Structure 1
Amino acid sequence: MKAAGRSVRTRLRDRVAASDPGLLRLTAGLRTVGAIALALAVLAVSGADDTHLVAGAMTAMVATFAIREKESRAQAVTVALGLPVALASVSVSALLSSRVVIGDAFFVVLIFCAVFVRRFGDRGTALGLIGFQVYFVSLFVGAEVSALPGLWGAIAVAFVSSAVVRFAVVPATPAGVLQRLRQAFRARLAQLIATQTELLDTGPDGIEKTLEHLRDGTARLHETALMIQSRLEEGTPDESTARLVQRRIADAEIAAERLGLLLLTARSAERADTLTLHLPGAPAPSVGRSPAPGEATEILRRDLGALRTLVLRPPAEARGTALSHLRNRLLGYRDEENLPEATAAVQDVFRGIGETARAVMGLRIALDGPQDESDDTPATTRSREELDAEDAAIDAGEEAAPKEEEPTGLRRPTTRAAVQVSVGSSLAILGGEFLSAERWYWAVLACWIVFLNTASTGEILVKGYRRVLGTMLGVVAGIGLAGLVGGHTWIAFGLVLLLIFAMFYTAPLSYTLMSFFVTAMLGLLYTLLHTYSLSVLLLRVEETALGAACGIVAAALVLPIRTDRRTNELLGTVLERLTDVTEGAVDQLSGGPAADLLDTARELDQALGDLRAATQPLTHPITPLRARRDTARYVVALLETCAYHARSLAATAELLPAHPSIAADPRLRGAVRRTVRNIEAIAARVADEDAGTEVETGPSIASLLAPDAAGVPRYGRITGRVLRHLERLDEAVMGLARPLGVPVRTPTR
């Protein structure tokens, strides 16, 4: 029964870890709610009135969510600096409360400064956000000079409460967050393997749904890998450990994605296209009926289940011969003599299982330390020796890449955004005053928020639409909750805490949901301040729509960054990083000097993530430009396919120094030249539409894989795998030419 209980707890823990990697959303929600609850408790005991309770609750929320630094020491410094900034902000607001014109002018200057200081990183962003939001809180509660002592006390209590909850009640160290992200990676990897197992039993009618789950699982695993990469520097004791974990995470991700492709190929009549795993709605390959029960199919199903167990089993439960037996059997498939009798495609799947098992073992060693070796078979020992050789070859002494020169003046993104949001806020103040002389600041808040974490006019437009939609739905909820609560102060505060938790827990998932919970919460706050009415909530919708419109107008007319321009810049960066990874990997595989391919591949992933986010306005469901939406999705999917093959090439090249069995092959340089020239031609056309560049076709790289006249393969297995990746990469690059309008030239003989 104890074992069953542990199993249930383990499954529940894995499910939670997979749904919220690193428990980041849960931590944010608990911290914010805890800080507000503690501040309310202290203020209530001290006899504060409802106005001070609301001010303290809102300030505690701001002091918690504004600080995003990863290290505890840096967070403590920012909290300490944030308190005087908040006190100064509320004091100036109270002093200017009777001077409308001067107060509005100062508010605009404060908004400019709050955005401008983002150039100084997380701390500058946090202090600017605190200054703006506390000024807004003072407007919300109607701060006056006579009430300043009480407000100072409420703000101080809020900051102290936020610090206590952050550092004592709900602490989150970089190492702890990284540990939870590792668990999330394992859980999502296990979920992906379970989805891949479904391919064995999926018939023609269910292949589309299974493929959709496979795409989601692959994307979620990659998302977690990127989250881990972004926290390795702070969460590991040294650079060598960080590089080791990064390498093992990349190996496991590549092996899992390759296993899915091999399974899909085994079920279809031809080799599966990598694009199928990245393009939503891509046509599924033709598959027959579910294979009849046979020995190979049953072994395959059994071993996929064993692989999932190997991924999920925690270190404390990994001792004993049972798990060792599973591990040894799966690693044995790396040797040809251990492959079951089956078709060539199915045997490839078994090889893929063996390679994935090796990647999982390397991941376990990197994350959990040395493992029990007493039950190792020769195949397992060989895999361990390979992993040890790779670990020893990791060089922590790589020189840091030189920093790129940052733009200055109005070309600097923070300066441009500061000017835009200042102009938009000025328009929002003027329009808001016409709607309501008392609550005009809602329009300013809406204008401010639509500029947060956006970089183009299209992103601001989409965010403004979501803000208005969430606000309208929240008004309906606020009306209902305010009617239910009535004059019950503490019930209202309890619901406020629940809504705030929901707001922070859903914020990374849906901006519309977050806006919904914010507006419903504000309805309850108005009830607490005895200013609630239906007209007030309807006014909030009007002010929100006005503020969003002002933000969109400012973004479109003042130093605009068109969505096309931003996506083209990011697309050029992706193509440049793709060239770096491909050339570096093939050069190393051809006998060139070792390069830092891990960091180069990471830069490619980051650039692709930025491009994916920037194309959201183009791919949004409400966009009227359907053809443009489909083109954007297709281009991003092709680039994700290119990135997968480039990562695979980089991972193979990283093996070269540590594996005597893998020899450099100088012939690979010739196979990649045309592909690199084509990538550069596409990049030049993206940067300048008038550039007269063309992509060049030629003999397929697959033709290099054909055996010679005697039927003997011209290349070894590793070189053959590299050429297959190059073939798929070349095909994907050629596929990019058509939607991007690059002419294709066929060379004459």
Structure 2
Amino acid sequence: MNTARLRDRVAASDPGLLRLAAGLRTVAAIALTLAVLGLAGVSVRHLVAGAIAAMVATFAIREKQRTAQAVTLALGLPLALVSLSLGALLSSRVVAGDLFFVALIFCAVYGRRFGDRGTALGLIGFQVYFVSLFVGATVSGLPELYGVLAVAFLCSAAARFLLVPETPAGLLERLREAFRARLAQLVSAQLGLLDAGPEEIDEVLETVREGTARLHETALMIQGRLEEGTADEATARLVQRRIADAEIAAERLGLLLLTARSAERADTLTLHLPGAPAPRAGRMPGRDEAMAQVRRDLEALRLLVLRPAAARSGTALSQVRNRLLGYREEDRLPPAPPAVQDVFRGIGETARAVLGLRIALDGPQDESDDSPETARSREELDAEDAVIDAGEADGAAQEELTGLRRPTTRAAVQVAVGSSLAIVGGEFLSSQRWYWAVLTCWIVFLNTSSTGEILVKGYRRLLGTVLGVLAGIVLAGSVGQHTWTAFALVLVLVFAMFYTAPLSYTLMSFFVTAALGLLYTLLHTYSLSVLVLRVEETALGAACGVIAAAFVLPVRTDRRTNDLLVTVLERLDEVTEAAVDQLSGGTPVELLDQARDLDQALADLRAATQPLTHPITPLRARRDTARYVVALLETCAYHARSLAATAELLPTHPSIAADPRLRRAGRRIGDNIAAIAAHVRDEHSTAAVETGPSIASLLDTEVPGTPRFGRVTDRVLRHVQRLDETLVGLARPLHVPVSAPKR
């Protein structure tokens, strides 16, 4: 049991074990290279060159298919040999070498427009040229270095394809396990809502927020791997559907628990806005036995999520599953206040989503112990599976940017200018190690799109470098001239660097700098002045990058975030319009793909707002506004996803049917989204957000005797109503006028 819990925790903390695999693969490549070169009796300088080359050849490749990885690795070796040769040839020609270095940097960044392969080859070319400068490559020493590079690339291939292999299907399987583990963690966090008092509720609620966000993050990661990791398009769409169902059901269960313990219905924003206070309440209302039953059922739900399909659990687990699925039937709900009964319904819907997820991931299950309620749930799931269309959705044509408007071209020009400044400034600091400033300037432009992002990344790299210098002093003094001890510590630091890279750029920079201190020791060039120079060159390179980004074809953070905000609003409008149209009786379309496009656009916006929300920003009011806007958009996305998932149930779910009157409500939502987007594009826009009667009142019929809501469920109405209210709330921080409806 302890082993299983540890495995679940590791899977949840590192979805797909991506960080662990990256660290192990890189360390294996370096260790194998050092072993081969050590047996060959090469010098320490060549050992250092081989270790760095193996690391570069391993981490540069990002393609998902093994064949594509092999092709890129094969192309990378001759490119590395050419780059190394030019580095050695131009080492004594200062001006020509500097000009070529700038040209190489431009080409390396421009190569990103050609996808993963172009990015990888550009990275290999740049980094190997840097290696030639670092180890002081000469023309006479090229034959030995050619052999070192060949060994490094071969060892990288062995580590990638033999020692730490990774297949798309295997990675997807690990991501599925991570989703299960994170779903179970979220249910555990929701359990805390039952007993948390006024003093603990905010902390528990923050844990629920984090669990919800982590579950969503894993769902997006799975979405990005479905095409390569599944046998066919139909299977990919089925898994996508079940992942979305489970995510939505779990998030809704958290809202129902908050509402049940509150004096009023909980706002969806509470689950998305960091620091938002919990709804005013004491303990959950209702009799003690109802609360105890909710607790037992949540624990049972967590067990259902975690228990492997192959586990032989007898009839006990089947009985638990049958009981939870029974809550989907009104006559099976325990006696309790309405809000608590909603929690039981939410548990039942989440159990159904877990059942669907298990069938999609693990195949057909034993049905011998099914209750009638479980059998009906299986029939619904089978009916939904049958209507999944295996055809691919048509992608909307996007404008092809050209010239300096193309992001890769603009970034290449910026980094070339910044690197030129770094070369000039670096030469003043040190004629021997000026390239550290260039490396920093290059790195701060990686995966950044605005001046603010570059500024934050430069700050983080400088902070990590300063701390790494202190660690390097301690490690270098401890290791002395013990070569293999130093290399062993370098391997540990390299693993830590790759394992922490997605979590903290500052930590990654810390481990890189500490490892460099050891490499300097091995090259007999270590001194305190060298490490101090490393800090100075890093600060210079970061400053040059910021200057280039700010004055050469600048992309202001405001402009970048506004563009992404418009994209999010457009995706939100597409999902909402399509879902409402389908719920109104329109032609079915692929909604979940559109919902995931919305999620990806929102993730891009969230990343772009980091400079605005960073703790060091002096504009506190602006930081709070950015967080609030992103939280509101996450709330909108949740309701849009829920509408999309509900709309896709129309052909199979007996309690949901189309209602044409929903189109009227959808028009108001669409108009309000368009008004907000128009104001973001042009602050002088006269468009205004319209408020008015509740969504439910818009569905009133003028025909006497007609049911008010037809067969549209209350859940659909709640999602549409909350989406409408959230859009009005979004208008205020964006300074969009809000007007009453025209009469």
TM bucket normalised to smaller: over 0.9
Q: Which residue of 2 aligns with 1:462?
A: 456
Displacement after TM superposition at 1:402 (Å): 3.7
Q: Which residue of 1 aligns with 2:564?
A: 570
8 Å contact kept, 2:286–2:336:
no
Q: Which residue of 2 aligns with 1:587?
A: 581
Letter matched to residue 322 of structure 2: N
Letter matched to residue 480 of structure 1: V
Whether 1:406 and 2:403 are equivalent positions in the alignment is no
Q: Which of 25, 39, 46 is 1:52 aligned to? A: 46
Q: Which residue of 2 aligns with 1:626?
A: 620
Question: How is 1:189-204 mapped onto 2 (pairs within 5 angstroms)?
Answer: 189-204=183-198
- Secondary structure at the counterpart of residue 370 of structure 2: coil
Output one character per residue of 1:512-568: Cα deviation in whole Å (capped at 9) or x when no partner: 000000000000000000000000000000000000000000000000000000100
Q: Which residue of 1 aligns with 2:6?
A: 12
Question: How is 1:173-212 mapped onto 2 (pairs within 5 angstroms)?
Answer: 173-212=167-206
Q: How many residues align?
A: 743
Q: Which residue of 1 aligns with 2:384?
A: 390
8 Å contact kept, 1:28–1:504:
yes
- Secondary structure at the counterpart of residue 593 of structure 1: coil
Q: Which residue of 2 aligns with 1:538?
A: 532
Displacement after TM superposition at 1:405 (Å): 2.5
- Secondary structure at the counterpart of residue 633 of structure 1: helix
Displacement after TM superposition at 1:373 (Å): 0.5
> Following the alignment from structure 2 to structure 1, what is the Cα–Cα distance between the partners of residues 666 and 742?
20
Q: Give unmatched runs, 5+ long, in structure 2.
A: none
Q: Which of 654, 662, 668 is 2:656 aligned to? A: 662
Q: Which residue of 2 aligns with 1:270?
A: 264
- Secondary structure at the counterpart of residue 460 of structure 1: helix
Displacement after TM superposition at 1:675 (Å): 1.4
> Following the alignment from structure 2 to structure 1, what is the Cα–Cα distance between the partners of residues 705 and 325?
30
Q: Which residue of 2 aligns with 1:3?
A: none
- Cα pair distance change 1:709/1:290, threshold 3 Å: farther
Question: How is 1:602-641 mapped onto 2 (pairs within 5 angstroms)?
Answer: 602-641=596-635
> Following the alignment from structure 2 to structure 1, what is the Cα–Cα distance between the partners of residues 54 and 741?
67
Displacement after TM superposition at 1:661 (Å): 4.0
Query: RMSD of the TM alignment (CA)?
Result: 1.6
Question: How is 1:241-640 mapped onto 2 (pairs within 5 angstroms)?
Answer: 241-289=235-283, 294-317=288-311, 319-640=313-634
> Following the alignment from structure 1 to structure 2, what is the Cα–Cα distance between the partners of residues 28 and 482?
26
- Secondary structure at the counterpart of residue 481 of structure 2: coil
- Cα pair distance change 1:708/1:727, threshold 3 Å: same
> Following the alignment from structure 2 to structure 1, what is the Cα–Cα distance between the partners of residues 274 and 707?
36
Displacement after TM superposition at 1:212 (Å): 0.5
- Identity rate, percent: 78
Displacement after TM superposition at 1:282 (Å): 0.9
Q: Give unmatched runs, 5+ long, in structure 1.
A: 1-6
Displacement after TM superposition at 1:318 (Å): 5.1
> Following the alignment from structure 2 to structure 1, what is the Cα–Cα distance between the partners of residues 706 and 402?
60
8 Å contact kept, 1:200–1:291:
no
8 Å contact kept, 1:201–1:291:
no
- Cα pair distance change 1:663/1:584, threshold 3 Å: same
Output one character per residue of 1:110-146: Cα deviation in whole Å (capped at 9) or x when no partner: 0000001110000000000000000001100000001
Displacement after TM superposition at 1:714 (Å): 2.6
> Following the alignment from structure 2 to structure 1, what is the Cα–Cα distance between the partners of residues 72 and 212?
37
- Secondary structure at the counterpart of residue 624 of structure 1: coil
Displacement after TM superposition at 1:466 (Å): 0.2
Q: Which residue of 1 aligns with 2:213?
A: 219
8 Å contact kept, 1:500–1:518:
yes
Question: How is 1:75-90 mapped onto 2 (pairs within 5 angstroms)?
Answer: 75-90=69-84
8 Å contact kept, 1:446–1:547:
yes
> Following the alignment from structure 1 to structure 2, what is the Cα–Cα distance between the partners of residues 631 and 711?
47
Q: Which residue of 2 aligns with 1:159?
A: 153
8 Å contact kept, 1:189–1:311:
yes
- Cα pair distance change 1:324/1:706, threshold 3 Å: farther
Q: Which residue of 2 aligns with 1:729?
A: 723
Letter matched to residue 320 of structure 1: G
Q: Which residue of 2 aligns with 1:133?
A: 127
Q: Which residue of 2 aligns with 1:103?
A: 97
Displacement after TM superposition at 1:289 (Å): 3.8
Q: Which residue of 1 aligns with 2:709?
A: 715
Q: Which residue of 1 aligns with 2:21?
A: 27
8 Å contact kept, 2:25–2:159:
yes
Output one character per residue of 1:388-418: Cα deviation in whole Å (capped at 9) or x when no partner: 0100000011343143122011000000000
- Cα pair distance change 1:606/1:588, threshold 3 Å: same
- Secondary structure at the counterpart of residue 612 of structure 2: helix
Letter matched to residue 93 of structure 2: R
> Following the alignment from structure 1 to structure 2, what is the Cα–Cα distance between the partners of residues 488 and 186?
46
Question: How is 1:666-685 mapped onto 2 (pairs within 5 angstroms)?
Answer: 666-685=660-679
> Following the alignment from structure 1 to structure 2, what is the Cα–Cα distance between the partners of residues 591 and 233?
30
Q: Scaled by the length of structure 1, what TM-score is found?
A: 0.98
8 Å contact kept, 1:15–1:187:
yes
Displacement after TM superposition at 1:290 (Å): 6.0
Q: Scaled by the length of structure 2, what TM-score is found?
A: 0.98
Displacement after TM superposition at 1:189 (Å): 0.2
Q: Please, which moves more after superposition, 731-740 or 670-679?
A: 670-679
- Secondary structure at the counterpart of residue 437 of structure 2: helix
- Secondary structure at the counterpart of residue 506 of structure 2: helix
- Cα pair distance change 1:335/1:292, threshold 3 Å: closer
Displacement after TM superposition at 1:293 (Å): 6.7
8 Å contact kept, 1:478–1:519:
yes
> Following the alignment from structure 1 to structure 2, what is the Cα–Cα distance between the partners of residues 545 and 576?
40
Letter matched to residue 607 of structure 2: A
Q: Which residue of 2 aligns with 1:653?
A: 647
Output one character per residue of 1:79-116: Cα deviation in whole Å (capped at 9) or x when no partner: 10000010000000001111010000000000000001
Q: Which residue of 2 aligns with 1:122?
A: 116
Letter matched to residue 339 of structure 2: A
8 Å contact kept, 2:194–2:283:
no
8 Å contact kept, 1:202–1:290:
no
Q: Which residue of 2 aligns with 1:4?
A: none
8 Å contact kept, 1:705–1:720:
no
Output one character per residue of 1:26-60: Cα deviation in whole Å (capped at 9) or x when no partner: 00000000000000000000010000000000000
